[in-house]
Structure 1
């Protein structure tokens, strides 16, 4: 029986030797940073055109993460690739032969995935915040202001959980095309529709991305009718992540490679 440390080292080796997975994390940071920075520059230059109400409800912290809507695309791809690359190449058979304890195999893969996503997520959130506030100039805020550190730290957690949710779903479907074919429409089409259509808006509030993004808000929008707070929203997203990981583990345990 292989030791947990040996399995962890094996999973780490797999990730760092597949260049596509590494570059997706770099892309997530750069895309989020660049787009967020552009929004900050535009907002700062057009500040004089904002109404008094818009200025009063302006959330400088949340603006620093405005590029995350596109940056999370790379995070989803990373969560998919870190799982499905072995299935695509057939290496999963060798991996499970070397580590027949599927619970240990699953734990090691998710532990490495979590660690990488957490480091990149936190680096992205803090870099985007400080760059964004610098570009906002006098209209920015500070890390010590009420609720700001919670939002910045929460943004890193949100990115980590997005990766884990994608990895859990990918473990269930075991195909990169199928996994991306489900996750992309879910987050970039279905979630947007359910979050904005009046008839189903109440349902959309409990989708993982809609609920999780609440943690990044410092200033409550005037027209918001969300019935939960920042940490409760992240908790709702956490339940989705747990369900996805549990589903992924059960499929791994009960189906052949």
Structure 2
């Protein structure tokens, strides 16, 4: 794997992404969705809601919608070539590991570029909406926990995108990949709302579900979305993303279409 070949592969993946307007709008929507949804949740939150989510998590709650955009960006980078174009890509660059790394790198770069302003804008929007309402606590801007939650949210969105790259490489169909990722993220959470579970079972589901475990990084008070330490929760999501990438890389190595 040469540096020149890697740069060429990355440039090719970036060219495919930027020449499809719909995909670029999906990248932009990540930031807009997170900021707008945070403002909406903050405006509609009942008194004491910050005590449930935590003050930082409430100001970053747009992540529940933004993660969908992050997943769709990643799926678009991978799935746009199936079933017709992948053979052309592999003929132009037969080093399949290079193709895999290029897709993951482009996905990570564009999601990171959108997630950073999304987290900052979400914090600003949430704090602005909540500042005029009584009964809502706010962490000071000097709080290390606040910035850990914001940085962790960026990492969370990045890992969701990489998880989606792996799933898309395995499934090789945009709609099916999107459905699989959404089921993986939201399914266990919805199950905890619908099914009555003993507390120890509920906590186990929360600890091993990628969304609830990963979003524990936003916790500043209480147990948050899962009874896990913030970075431990991110590690759970990273394990899901890493596993999906390894399987996706393996599938790309042995199959063309």
Which range, TM-score by smaller chain? 0.7 to 0.9
Structure 2 residue matching 1:66: 3-state secondary structure: coil
Give the drift of 1:68. Answer: 1.9
Structure 1 segment 239-254 matched on structure 2, within 5 A: 239-254=239-254
- Cα distance, 1:10–1:39 mapped onto 2, change above 3 Å: same
Structure 1 segment 5-84 matched on structure 2, within 5 A: 5-43=7-45, 47=47, 50=48, 59-84=54-79
- Cα distance, 1:113–1:225 mapped onto 2, change above 3 Å: closer
Query: Is the contact between residue 37 and residue 135 of structure 1 (CA under 8 Å) also seen in structure 2?
Result: yes
Unaligned runs of 5+ in 2: none
Structure 1 segment 42-191 matched on structure 2, within 5 A: 42-43=44-45, 47=47, 50=48, 59-88=54-83, 90-137=84-131, 139-191=137-189
Aligned counterparts of 1:11 and 1:225: Cα–Cα separation in 2: 36
Aligned counterparts of 1:251 and 1:142: Cα–Cα separation in 2: 47
Unaligned runs of 5+ in 1: none
Q: CA RMSD in A?
A: 2.3
Tell me which moved more, 189-198 or 116-125: 189-198
Give the drift of 1:133. Answer: 1.0
TM-score normalised to structure 2 length: 0.87
Query: Is the contact between residue 134 and residue 140 of structure 1 (CA under 8 Å) also seen in structure 2?
Result: no
Count of residue pairs brought into register by the alignment: 247
Report what 2:233 is aligned to.
233
TM-score normalised to structure 1 length: 0.87
